[in-house]
């Protein structure tokens, strides 16, 4: 399915893991949180959110559970597994390295 | 991913496989919840409910697509899609039962024939002996300087010497088949047995089911510590001891000698000889000494097969090096010193070699490896034709399904996905064909095996246990899968090849030249060429058999029965035994329903023979080979019973006795060769220094082999056999319509000689047919496959043309409306096929000419490139092709232009 065009490939997984590391959330809440924390810069379409979540679940990074929302509606809540937390650490470290390298390169060009 | 990942993912996968409904519901609910939330948000931001809902759906980029993307993450699409494809394929096949039936039937015949031939090859050549580490076994043989002179049988002195000097094999054993005589109720019967040397069981590495097996200490000429011992088969144990454990230690009287049963072998054990199922094993030294003393002591009685087990990991090179060291002392010890010096020299020049022994030993391999290889090739060709046929039919169907495929492609199915779906259909077809083919193979292997075991050969009766083992199952699965791919892939590729637009457009029956694809144009000549090849093979093998069947054997086998006796264990010998035979013969001649009866030693075409050079006084110009004469013992009335003409002189009568002058009757060929210028009657021939007066000349008969030219033959009266009187066979010609005489004969024999085993009666006709079992096998099967090839090709041609006519109905209508006449229309339909079939015939004839040399050794009195056979094959294919093409061509010619134009 369509990939979020303005997201570096693979970063969606990192974002989702990071968001879920804070607290278990359902899909809708995740999409709201994504928009909220990234300040509308990182757009993740509704269409690509769920396949990404399902993929993470199949890989064992996150697990799901049906629970009631604050409005007493049944929803599927995702939370991080032990493996997911390790994965998040790895990915985050990778990201920092990558981001640092890229900003250094960008800084170079400005000289 | 780590194992821990799988701990999460496997339960999820299983859940989505087996709780599909629940998982789907959850997916739908999850996305619905999201859509509702989004819709509410949109309404809150001021949209009207309807556009709020649509906006939410748009944001989802299609609800179904999202769901599908989520399903994709489960990694179960392969299984899911396969199940769906299978369901769809079954539905499609059920919708066109005619096509399905033709496809499954032709595949069943093709795959079944392949499986059947393969399972025979498997049984004879591939299946390892059911013993541990069969790959370490070797069969020993003596190789001469000429490449074709390999002796697989050895003498007892050779085996003894091998055993003495052996440093190559961890175990070494020899065996010989032997029919024991045993009492069973009122009858003396034969029981298949094996005389086996002491290391037979330990080297094969097989443990008994009960008791123990014999060893070197039992293999002594006077018997071991326990006296004569015997090991029995599971079948024998069940039949004679009702599986009682008390069988161990029981006495067993074989050939009037008391043995003690010491062990029972497991059900699947048959020894080292494929096709032979011994019931009893007895140590070679004691068995040989008791039953075959002369042969055991002889240095020229070649009756033992030797096998050894090499140490694991020992290379062929070191085995051969070891055998090279072994050869001189062994041959020196076992040298037949009574042979003439030149033969002794040849003997000493032989080498001991080790052949593969993993698959056991069977003489049938020498006889049937080549025919089976040829048959395997033929059936592969038949299957190829069947595949080409199906490819053709599927191509036609694929074009008919263009619109369906176009719709699938335009709805977003990828090309690989559509191809996979079409392939599922063709592989399902071939699997159905394979399933039906297995049933056909089961039936065919039994027929094939009966051909194989009816071939007369050395040794006891044969049983081929042909089972569908894993090799056969794997072979069938590979053949089925392979053919499914073969006939399915090209049509599937082609069906999805053109763009969606052209596919959709094509279905509007626009007028365009209906050209078949390159692939389809390649299939028809291929089928034609293969058909020519198969029909030519059928012609060659059928022609060989026809010539053999119309060969005059020199005797008339009609209503002639052969009944053998085994009198080797009778107390009477020589003259007394001859007198016993005379008494039995006289008794048989009084039985009702008998036209005439006689007896003889070696029945014609049984595979057994007795030949020796005779001396002819005054003819020192003839070489030993030219004087080699086939000899036989016969009784009075032999020539009438066999209807062999007595050309001159007299037959034997009761005046020819042990004390009267030695007399003989020679055949016409011997008379012409030995006495070209004088009347042989009254002349003498010398055999073993004994002069024999010729009293008669008889017609030539086929003695050893129907395929051989008539040899010089000479008969003696059995009453004059002075020493070593063998067991004889009665030959009985019944009156027309007489019932079987076996019961009367048995009763008569019980009175005169109650403990003589009687062989199963066999008709001389049967013996004649058995002697050409190989030719009958080749002819029957190749005729069947040739006919099948023609049938498949004609079905293919008919199908392709009929489809063409349907597709070109409009075009034909316009042509007719513009003035085309019937012949023009017919030519239009068959034009392309005519060229294609003709091309195929040319290729087929060329291939037949090139390949037929490979079967030359299997033919009789027919040249491998016999022009009449080839012409016949071409004519047969042409006739079938014309017949198949004429139906659609005539249908096209009879089209009503007004109707066909309306069909647009």
> Does the distance separating the beta carbons of A58 and B75 come in below 8 Å?
yes
Residue among B309, B197, B779, B308 at smallest CA distance from B539:
B779
> Does the distance separating the beta carbons of A73 and B7 come in below 8 Å?
no
Q: φ and ψ at B701, to 5 degrees?
A: -130, 160
Contacts 24+ apart (CB under 8 A), A85-93: A85/A21, A87/A17, A87/A61, A88/A14, A88/A17, A88/A18, A88/A21, A88/A61, A91/A10, A91/A13, A91/A14, A91/A17, A92/A14, A92/A18
Residues B759 and B756: their CA atoms lie apart, in Å, by 10
Q: φ and ψ at B634, to 5 degrees?
A: -135, 165
Q: Which of B5, B61, B66 sits opposite A59 (nearest CB)?
A: B5
Question: What local confidence, expressed as pLDDT, does residue A110 receive?
Answer: 54
Q: Please say if the pLDDT value at position B352 is more than 90.
A: yes
Residue among B261, B309, B257 at smallest CA distance from B134:
B309
Question: What local confidence, expressed as pLDDT, does residue A1 receive?
Answer: 39
Which H or E run contains B109? Answer: helix B97-121
Tens-digit pLDDT string for chain A (111 aa): 344 444 555 688 888 899 999 899 999 999 888 888 777 677 778 888 898 899 889 888 999 989 888 888 889 999 999 888 998 998 889 888 888 888 888 887 655
- Secondary structure (DSSP) of B449-479: HHHHHHS--SSS---------HHHHHHHHHH
| Cα nearest neighbour of B31 on chain A | A50
* A1: closest CA of chain B, how far (Å): 6
Which H or E run contains B883? Answer: helix B867-893
Average pLDDT over residues B558-578: 88
Residue among B282, B274, B261 at smallest CA distance from B197:
B282
> Does the distance separating the beta carbons of A75 and B26 come in below 8 Å?
no
Q: Which residues of B touch A26 (CB under 8 A)?
A: 30, 33
Confidence of residue B65 (pLDDT cuts 50, 70, 90): confident
Chain centroid to CA B774: 10
* CA-based radius of gyration for chain A: 15
Confidence of residue B499 (pLDDT cuts 50, 70, 90): low
What confidence tens digit (pLDDT) does each residue in B625-680 have?
899 999 999 999 999 999 999 999 999 998 998 889 999 999 999 999 999 988 99
CB B394, CB B485: distance < 8 Å: no
A:B CB pairs within 8 Å: 87
| Cα nearest neighbour of A2 on chain B | B61
Question: What local confidence, expressed as pLDDT, does residue B330 receive?
Answer: 95
Average pLDDT over residues B354-365: 88
- For the entire predicted model, the pTM comes to 0.79
Asked if the C-beta of A45 comes within 8 angstroms of chain B's C-beta atoms, the answer is yes
Residue among B402, B380, B320 at smallest CA distance from B354:
B320
Separation in Å, CA B810 to CA B513, B804, B891? 11, 11, 14
Q: Which residues of A touch B5 (CB under 8 A)?
A: 59-60, 83
Give the contacts of B743 (CB within 8 A, at least 6 positions apart): none
What's the full length of chain A, in residues?
111
> Does the distance separating the beta carbons of B8 and A63 come in below 8 Å?
yes
Separation in Å, CA B713 to CA B425, B606, B630, B726, B890? 66, 16, 5, 19, 64
Question: What local confidence, expressed as pLDDT, does residue B460 receive?
Answer: 56
Average pLDDT over residues B742-770: 84
Most distant CA atoms of chain B, gap in Å? 136
Q: Which residues of B touch A76 (CB under 8 A)?
A: 26, 29-30, 33
pLDDT more than 90, % of chain B: 43
Per-residue b or e along B91-128, where b marks 16 or more CB atoms closer than 10 Å to that residue's CB? ebbeeeeebbebbbbbbbbbbbbbbbbbbbbbbbbebe
Q: Bigger pLDDT: B828 or A3?
A: B828
CB B11, CB B19: distance < 8 Å: no
Q: Please say if the pLDDT value at position B508 is more than 60.
A: no
Residue B819 Rama label (left phi>0; alpha psi -120 to 50; beta) = left
Average pLDDT over residues B287-297: 82
Exposure on the CB side of residue B621, measured as CA atoms within 13 A: 6
Confidence of residue B314 (pLDDT cuts 50, 70, 90): confident
Q: φ and ψ at B554, to 5 degrees?
A: 95, -10
Q: Please say if the pLDDT value at position B391 is more than 80.
A: yes
Domain boundaries, chain B: 3-75, 134-358, 365-549+773-902, 566-758
Q: Please say if the pLDDT value at position B106 is more than 90.
A: no
Question: Under DSSP, is residue B248 helix (H, G, I), strand (E, B) or coil?
Answer: coil
Residues B356 and B138: their CA atoms lie apart, in Å, by 5
Exposure on the CB side of residue B86, measured as CA atoms within 13 A: 9
Average pLDDT over residues B699-723: 91
Confidence of residue B362 (pLDDT cuts 50, 70, 90): confident
What confidence tens digit (pLDDT) does each residue in B579-617 have?
999 999 999 888 888 999 999 999 999 878 888 899 999
- Residues B11/B16/B19/B24 CA torsion (nearest 10 deg): 140
Let me know if B827 is exposed, middle or buried by CB neighbors in 10 A (0-12, 13-18, 19+). Answer: middle
Question: What local confidence, expressed as pLDDT, does residue B543 receive?
Answer: 95
> Does the distance separating the beta carbons of B1 and A1 come in below 8 Å?
no
- Secondary structure (DSSP) of B580-597: HHHHHHHHHHTSTTEEEE
| Cα nearest neighbour of B67 on chain A | A51
Helix B415-454 × helix B470-495 angle, to 10° = 140
Q: Please say if the pLDDT value at position B15 is more than 90.
A: no
Residue among B313, B19, B330 at smallest CA distance from B159:
B330
Question: Taking the CB of residue B552, how many other CB atoms lie within 10 A of it?
Answer: 10
Q: Which residues of B touch A54 (CB under 8 A)?
A: 70, 73-74
Which H or E run contains B647? Answer: strand B646-649
> Does the distance separating the beta carbons of B38 and A28 come in below 8 Å?
yes
Structure tokens at B171: 């175990």
pLDDT more than 70, % of chain B: 96
Complex ipTM value: 0.87
Average pLDDT over residues B119-144: 91
> Does the distance separating the beta carbons of A26 and B33 come in below 8 Å?
yes
Topology of domain A11-110, CATH: Arc Repressor Mutant, subunit A (1.10.10)
Q: State which of B450-454, B490-494, B661-665 shows the largest mean pLDDT.
A: B661-665
Q: Which segments of B496-573 does DSSP mark as H helices, in order?
A: 500-506, 518-549
CB B534, CB B382: distance < 8 Å: yes
Residue among B139, B163, B143, B169 at smallest CA distance from B351:
B143
Question: What local confidence, expressed as pLDDT, does residue B99 receive?
Answer: 82
Best mutation target among A54, A63, A80 (most B Cβ atoms within 10 Å) is A54
Q: Which of A1, A50, A57 sits opposite B12 (nearest CB)?
A: A57
Confidence of residue B498 (pLDDT cuts 50, 70, 90): low
Mean pLDDT, all residues of chain A? 82
Q: How many helices (H) and strands (E) does chain A have?
A: 4, 3
What confidence tens digit (pLDDT) does each residue in B417-441 have?
888 888 888 889 999 999 999 999 9
Mean pLDDT, all residues of chain B? 87
Structure tokens at B150: 């390999």
> Does the distance separating the beta carbons of A58 and B69 come in below 8 Å?
no
Average pLDDT over residues B245-264: 93
Q: Which of A46, A51, A63 sits opposite B70 (nearest CB)?
A: A51
> Does the distance separating the beta carbons of A50 and B69 come in below 8 Å?
yes
- Secondary structure (DSSP) of B738-769: PPP-HHHHHHHHHHH-TT-PBPPPEEHHHHHH
Question: What local confidence, expressed as pLDDT, does residue B514 receive?
Answer: 46
Q: Bigger pLDDT: A106 or B538?
A: B538
Let me know if B885 is exposed, middle or buried by CB neighbors in 10 A (0-12, 13-18, 19+). Answer: buried
* CA-based radius of gyration for chain B: 37
Average pLDDT over residues B20-46: 89
Confidence of residue B457 (pLDDT cuts 50, 70, 90): low
Q: Which of B2, B34, B69 sits opposite A51 (nearest CB)?
A: B69
Q: Please say if the pLDDT value at position B798 is more than 50.
A: yes
């Amino acid at each position: 399915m369509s990939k979020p065009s303005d997201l570096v490939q693979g970063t969606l997984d990192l974002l989702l893991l990071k968001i879920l590391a804070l607290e278990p959330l359902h899909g809708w809440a995740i999409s709201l949180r994504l928009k909220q924390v990234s300040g509308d810069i990182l757009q993740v379409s509704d269409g690509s959110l769920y396949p990404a979540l399902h993929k993470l679940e199949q890989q064992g990074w996150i697990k799901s559970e049906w629970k009631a929302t604050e409005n007493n509606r049944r929803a599927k809540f995702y939370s991080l597994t032990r493996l997911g937390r390790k994965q998040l650490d790895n990915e985050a470290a990778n990201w920092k390295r990558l981001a640092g390298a890229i900003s250094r390169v960008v800084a170079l060009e400005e000289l | 991913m780590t194992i821990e990942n799988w701990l999460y993912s496997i339960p999820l996968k299983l859940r989505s496989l087996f709780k599909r409904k629940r998982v789907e519901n959850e997916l739908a609910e999850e996305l619905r919840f999201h859509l509702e939330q989004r819709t509410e948000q949109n309404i809150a931001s001021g949209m009207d409910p309807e556009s709020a809902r649509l906006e939410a759906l748009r944001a989802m980029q299609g609800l179904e697509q999202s769901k599908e993307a989520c399903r994709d993450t489960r990694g179960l699409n392969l299984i899911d899609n396969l199940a769906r494809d299978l369901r769809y394929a079954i539905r499609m096949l059920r919708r066109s039962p005619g096509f399905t039936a033709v496809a499954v039937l032709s595949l069943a015949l093709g795959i079944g024939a392949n499986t059947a031939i393969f399972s025979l090859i498997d049984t004879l050549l591939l299946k390892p002996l059911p013993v541990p580490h069969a790959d370490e076994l070797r069969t020993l043989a003596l190789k001469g300087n000429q490449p074709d002179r390999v002796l697989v049988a050895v003498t007892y002195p050779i085996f003894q010497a091998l055993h003495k000097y052996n440093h190559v094999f961890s175990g070494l054993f020899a065996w010989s088949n032997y029919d024991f005589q045993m009492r069973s109720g009122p009858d003396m019967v034969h029981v298949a047995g094996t005389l086996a040397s002491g290391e037979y069981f330990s080297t094969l590495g097989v443990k008994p089911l009960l008791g123990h097996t014999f060893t070197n200490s039992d293999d002594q000429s006077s018997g071991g510590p326990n006296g004569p011992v015997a090991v029995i088969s599971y079948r024998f144990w069940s039949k004679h001891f009702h599986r009682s454990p008390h069988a161990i230690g029981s006495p067993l009287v074989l050939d009037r000698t008391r043995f003690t049963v010491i062990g029972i072998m497991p059900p699947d054990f048959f020894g080292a000889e494929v096709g032979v199922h011994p019931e009893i094993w007895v140590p070679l030294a004691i068995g040989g000494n008791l039953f075959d003393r002369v042969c055991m002591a002889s240095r020229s009685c070649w009756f033992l097969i030797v096998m050894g087990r090499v140490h694991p990991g020992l290379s062929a090179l070191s085995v051969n090096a070891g055998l090279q060291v072994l050869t001189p002392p062994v041959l020196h010890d076992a040298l037949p010193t009574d042979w003439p010096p030149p033969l002794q020299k040849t003997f000493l020049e032989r080498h001991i070699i080790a052949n593969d022994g993993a698959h056991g030993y069977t003489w049938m391999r020498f006889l049937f490896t080549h025919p089976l290889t040829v048959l395997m090739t033929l059936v592969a060709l038949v299957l190829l034709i069947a595949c080409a046929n199906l490819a053709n039919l599927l191509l036609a169907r694929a074009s008919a399904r263009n619109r369906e495929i176009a719709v699938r492609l335009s709805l977003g199915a990828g090309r690989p996905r559509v191809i996979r779906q079409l392939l599922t259909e063709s592989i399902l077809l071939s699997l159905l064909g394979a399933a039906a083919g297995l049933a056909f193979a089961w039936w065919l292997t039994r027929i094939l095996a009966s051909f194989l075991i009816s071939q007369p050969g050395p040794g006891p009766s044969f049983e081929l246990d042909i089972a569908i083992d894993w090799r056969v199952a794997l072979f069938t699965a590979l053949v089925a899968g392979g053919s499914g791919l073969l006939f399915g892939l090209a049509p599937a590729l082609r069906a999805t090849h053109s763009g969606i637009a052209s596919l959709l457009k094509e279905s509007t029956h626009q007028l365009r030249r209906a050209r078949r694809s390159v692939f389809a144009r390649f299939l028809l000549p291929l089928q034609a060429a293969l058909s020519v090849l198969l029909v030519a093979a059928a012609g060659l093998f059928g022609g060989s058999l026809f010539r053999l069947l119309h060969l005059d054997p020199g005797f008339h086998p009609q209503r002639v029965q052969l009944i053998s006796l085994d009198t080797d264990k009778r107390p009477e010998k020589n003259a007394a035994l001859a007198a016993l035979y005379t008494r039995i013969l006289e008794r048989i001649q009084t039985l009702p329903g008998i036209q005439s009866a006689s007896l003889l030693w070696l029945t014609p075409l049984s595979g057994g023979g007795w030949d020796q050079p005779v001396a002819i006084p005054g003819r020192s110009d003839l070489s030993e080979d030219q004087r080699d004469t086939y000899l036989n013992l016969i009784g009075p009335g032999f020539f009438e019973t066999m209807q062999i003409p007595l050309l001159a002189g007299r037959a034997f009568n009761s005046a020819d006795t042990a004390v009267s002058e030695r007399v003989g009757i020679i055949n016409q060929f011997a008379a012409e060769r030995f006495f070209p210028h004088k009347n042989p009657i009254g002349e003498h021939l010398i055999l073993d220094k004994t002069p024999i007066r010729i009293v008669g000349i008889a017609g030539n008969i086929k003695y050893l082999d129907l395929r051989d030219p008539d040899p010089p033959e000479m008969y003696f009266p059995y009453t004059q056999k002075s020493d070593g009187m063998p067991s004889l066979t009665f030959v009985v010609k019944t009156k027309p319509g007489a019932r079987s005489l076996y019961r009367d004969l048995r009763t008569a024999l019980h009175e005169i000689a109650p403990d003589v085993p009687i062989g199963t009666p066999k008709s001389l006709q049967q013996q004649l047919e058995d002697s050409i079992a190989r030719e009958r096998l080749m002819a029957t099967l190749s005729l069947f496959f040739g006919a099948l090839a023609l049938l498949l090709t004609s079905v293919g041609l008919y199908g392709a043309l009929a489809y063409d006519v349907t597709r070109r109905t409009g075009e034909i209508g316009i042509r007719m409306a513009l003035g085309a006449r019937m012949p023009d229309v017919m030519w239009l339909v068959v034009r392309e096929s005519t060229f294609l079939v003709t091309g195929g015939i040319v290729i087929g004839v060329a291939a037949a000419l090139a390949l037929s040399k490979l079967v030359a050794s299997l033919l009789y009195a027919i040249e491998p490139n016999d022009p009449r056979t080839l012409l016949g094959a071409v004519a047969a294919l042409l006739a079938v092709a014309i017949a198949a093409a004429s139906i659609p061509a005539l249908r096209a010619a009879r089209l009503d232009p007004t109707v066909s134009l309306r069909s647009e």
